[in-house]
Amino acid sequence: MKHLLKMSDLSPAELHHILDVAEELKAEQKAGTTPALLKGRSVALMFSKNSTRTRTSFEVGVYQLGGLGNYMNAATELQSGRGEPLKDTARVLGRYYDCVVWRTYRQCDLEEFAELAGVPVINGLTDYAHPCQVLADLMTIRERRGTLEGQKLCFIGDGCSMANSLIVGGLLAGMRVTCVCPEGYRPAADVLMFAHKYGEKFHLLTDPAEGVKDADVVVTAAWNTAPGTPESERRLRDFAGFQVTSRLMEGAKPDAMLLHCLPAHRGEEISTAVFEEHADEIFDEAENRLHVQKAVLAILLAGL
């Protein structure tokens, strides 16, 4: 593993190894015995967009492992926000830091950055992929279910970064995956090509009630990300009927889990009642961002 740019960078063995290391690091953190695996190492935490969980969990995670994590707002603080070419930022940061985490828009920018930086690069979210989040989701499911193999995961929402990464990650982990999106919000074409190789283990649907049937895990994510805009008005219309409610959850297995990567828009992609019913799972999922990202850093930088 050289970088973590998208889920398809991982083999099934690498994915399970990340989850194993994350589980170990979580136990060590609870016991107060976290090893200083990043002693003397520094990680650039470069964000071109807002973040609560990704930023803080990386900051705390690097600190717990004994390293230095430097947060930088790429839009308002770095020269990249005033037009310095990406290629130059990559080649400079790669000379100072041992690793760069970047949250940005275009996956192609992240991939180019990784080619030039000369150090491991981790995707902190692009429009195409959110691998750190999906690793935390898989860790949470495995913790609570004991296995990922054969579990049915149903994603309901926009076929963007979360859907793309859950489809690939879930299938690599041995799960059965159903993705439910309105027409016009399908996952990326290359992700669908990947998924179709898994035959009956993958389904793309437009009816949430059909998608959740017998699901072990239901996952949703925000789809109205620019409230107050004409785009938002369109999305509110297009996603009518896609809210995860207690009624919809009745179609899943009686003990089905519900995950949400947060932030949640109650009354849009999820009802307040169902969010609170599953809050323990959702906040375990948020906590696991910390452990799984520490595992990724430990594997990339300390050769675990």
Judged by the rule CB under 6 A, the positions of this chain that interact with ligand CP are: 51-54, 125, 133, 261-262
For ligand CP, the closer of residues 204 and 218 by Cβ is: 218
CB of 285 to ligand CP, least distance (A): 9
For ligand CP, the closer of residues 51 and 232 by Cβ is: 51
CB of 206 to ligand CP, least distance (A): 25
CB of 290 to ligand CP, least distance (A): 12
CB-based contact 130:155 (threshold 8 Å): no
Can you name the residues that pair with 102 across neighbouring β-strands? 46, 123
For ligand CP, the closer of residues 204 and 296 by Cβ is: 296
Question: Distance between CA atoms of 288 and 228, rounded to whole angstroms?
Answer: 32
CB-based contact 162:218 (threshold 8 Å): no
For ligand CP, the closer of residues 49 and 186 by Cβ is: 49
CB of 261 to ligand CP, least distance (A): 4
76 by Cβ neighbours in 10 Å (0-12 / 13-18 / 19+) ranks as exposed
User: Which residues have CB under 8 Å from 129's CB, separation 6+?
Assistant: 5, 6, 7, 107, 123, 161, 164, 165
Residue 182: asked if its preceding bond is cis (omega within 30°), the reply is no
For ligand CP, the closer of residues 42 and 51 by Cβ is: 51
CB of 100 to ligand CP, least distance (A): 16
CB of 262 to ligand CP, least distance (A): 5
CB-based contact 7:161 (threshold 8 Å): no
Q: In what order do the strands lie in the sheet with 68-73?
A: 68-73, 42-47, 99-103, 121-123
CB of 43 to ligand CP, least distance (A): 16
Question: Distance between CA atoms of 109 and 112, rounded to whole angstroms?
Answer: 5
> Minimal CA–CA distance to 182: which of 155, 163, 158?
158
For ligand CP, the closer of residues 204 and 219 by Cβ is: 219
> Minimal CA–CA distance to 109: which of 137, 129, 92, 95?
129
For ligand CP, the closer of residues 162 and 301 by Cβ is: 162
